[in-house]
Chain A
Amino acid sequence: MTSVLVCVKRVPDVSGEVLLTADAQAVDARYVGFTVSAHESCAVELAVRVAAGDGATVLTLGPAEAVEQLRSALGVGCTAATLVEADTAGYGPADVAREIAAVVADHEAAGRRHDLILLGNDAADTGDFQVGIRLAHELGRPVVNGVKAVEVADGVVTARGDGPDGGVETFRVPLPAVVTVLEGGVEPRYPTITGRMKAKKVAVETVAPHRAPDGPGRVRLTLPPAQPSSVEVLGEGPAAAPAVVDLLHSLGVSR
């Protein structure tokens, strides 16, 4: 029996050009969609696998629209969802960790204990690299960071990730614990039609933040200056191969 909580963050899907809001406090997301980071998609996948029949709860702190990200996680197998409704821009990583910890405490008081809490290693927008660790600190739980594989047996979580020298490192930690996930270890599943139908029926628990945030300390965002391009296009497709080889010869790197 392992009850899992997984935390995701609604972020603008900026694979193309990035624009900022007029007050330079956030990415202007009017013309782009929203998503969660690849790390968090893998965390959701791991949560569903580890929880098996026992149920995985997905949580986010964000605006009312973040229900969209909760529904996506419900669609791939999470069984309950909590929205802490707040304007994310005013929250720093310590604020987010405190709010998640408050939900965990409330759930526990109501008889729903989350043995394992999964998060992404870093959020795709603010990239703070710390919410999981701060959360563990708030809850007085051990934390393992940046792993790709997570298994639970006999009240112990075994987590594996890449070490600095390219080896695979194993951690073994008793539950309850916090684990943050890096993409690449599992392939997130796609929602099935029945999964989507089920997801629609789940009632999302919506709660207000427990206290006012201290904020992220953000002064402003800036875009790096555009670089003037002076590229010389040698050609298109395989027909350009002779021009490339001529160039490699003239640079003295191919005899």
Chain B
Amino acid sequence: MILVMAETDAGGVTEVSRETLTFARALDEVHAVLVGTAPDGAAAELGAYGVTAVHHAVGEAFSAYGGAVWATAVRAAQAATGATAVTAAGTPRGNEVLAHLAARLGVPMAANVVATSGDAASLVVSRQVVGGAVLERMRLDDRPAVFSVAGHAVEAHPAATAAPVEVRELTPEVTDADLVARVVSTEPGEPDRSGSLRSARVVVGAGRGAGSADGFDAVLELAGLLDGALGVSRVVTSLGWRPHHEQVGQTGSRISPDVYLPCGISGAIQHWAGCESSKTIVAINTDPDAPMVTRATYAVIGDMHEIVPAISEEIRRRRG
């Protein structure tokens, strides 16, 4: 049996967690762990993804996020069930909780797995290393096998038949040390508008090539003219140029618009993971050899700061 730590948000089980459930279901029977407050219907949603039992850790200790205390919950579920593998999505929390778990159990952990081979007894995983440019095959001989699943490595699909899901409350013993590093306060960020990004028919993308936080006016204008949304690379969100909910890729949204226009985005594998199901890609880049250009359907070579305003101008001119 394989245990999946599922993450939830206001909308239910997150997309990457549903992907991880889909991934895990191909390997073995799946149980899930939920930690802390979960939205109504989360257990039913897990059932739809083939989960046969949900272990829900409840109580004051789980009211605020902390990697150590969440790992205590996952460890308790693993111990109670004897799960031979434990996994989660390769999110910051997923990787963090699994690393705590692996450290406590004294077993290896493989981050960002995209495929497995072998069987439950001798598991070999393929995982992304070197920023996704290289795959590493790694042996996981110890039990439980602990690994995270790279975002968008597979598409999320509900199971053919939903399992009747049994919810078991979990009240693990928590130590003082578990509670030291927990979130003490959260300042709300900008409202999450990733929903409109995921459903947009046209997405105009912008990466490091935008140059600075001030370099987005032109792409926003073009997105507006096309009734589309803005999507950005992780470089852009890391540098604080744009909010995270606009990020496309493995650790951002997965988009599938009719047209994606990535401007000044190199096309690293983690970005590609979020945009590969776009029907048509029109790349704008100074580098004709950038992976985004060679993998695109169409491309324009040159400076986005000249090309993007010219496209907007041409659209306005034709509309009169």
Contacts and interface: CB of A to CB of B under 8 A. Distances in A.
Contacts of A8: none
In this complex, the interface size class of chain A, counting residues with CB under 8 Å from chain B, is 35 or more
A224 B129 CA distance: 11
Contact of B189 (A167, A174, A234): A167
Interface string A216-246: 1111111110010111111111111111110
Interface residues of B, number: 93
B205 to A, nearest CB: 14
Contacts of B103: 94, 97, 130, 133-134, 137
A165 interface: yes
A235 to B, nearest CB: 6
Interface stretch (B47-55, B155-163, B311-319): B311-319
B100 A137 contact: yes
A171 B91 CA distance: 19
A142 B181 contact: yes
Interface in B302-318: 302-303, 306-307, 309-311, 313-315, 318
B15 interface: no
A221 B238 contact: no
B129 A241 contact: no
Interface in B126-162: 126-131, 133-141, 148
Interface in A4-41: 14, 18, 20, 27
Contact of B91 (A164, A230, A232): A164
Interface stretch (A72-80, A120-128, A202-210): A120-128
A245 B93 contact: no
Given A170-B183, A222-B135, A247 B112 contact: no
A235 B306 CA distance: 13
A248 interface: yes
Nearest to B305: A238
B182 A171 contact: yes
Interface string B176-199: 010011111111111010000000
A182 B96 CA distance: 13
Nearest to B177: A142
Contacts of A230: 297
A184 interface: yes
B315 A165 contact: no
B135 to A, nearest CB: 5
Contact of A236 (B182, B258, B302): B302
B128 A127 contact: yes
Interface string B60-92: 000001011000000000000000000000111
B136 A244 contact: no
Contact of A241 (B130, B136, B177, B311): B311
16 contacts: A122-B111, A127-B128, A129-B96, A142-B181, A167-B186, A171-B181, A218-B136, A220-B137, A221-B129, A223-B133, A224-B269, A231-B294, A237-B300, A241-B314, A251-B258, A253-B228
Interface of B: 7, 9, 14, 65, 67-68, 90-93, 95-96, 99-100, 102-104, 106, 108-112, 124, 126-131, 133-141, 148, 177, 180-190, 192, 201-202, 225-226, 228, 237-240, 243-245, 258-259, 269, 280, 282-283, 288, 293-303, 306-307, 309-311, 313-315, 318-319
Given A170-B183, A173-B180, 12 more contacts: A126-B129, A137-B104, A146-B92, A163-B65, A184-B240, A218-B137, A222-B136, A224-B133, A230-B297, A231-B299, A253-B228, A253-B259
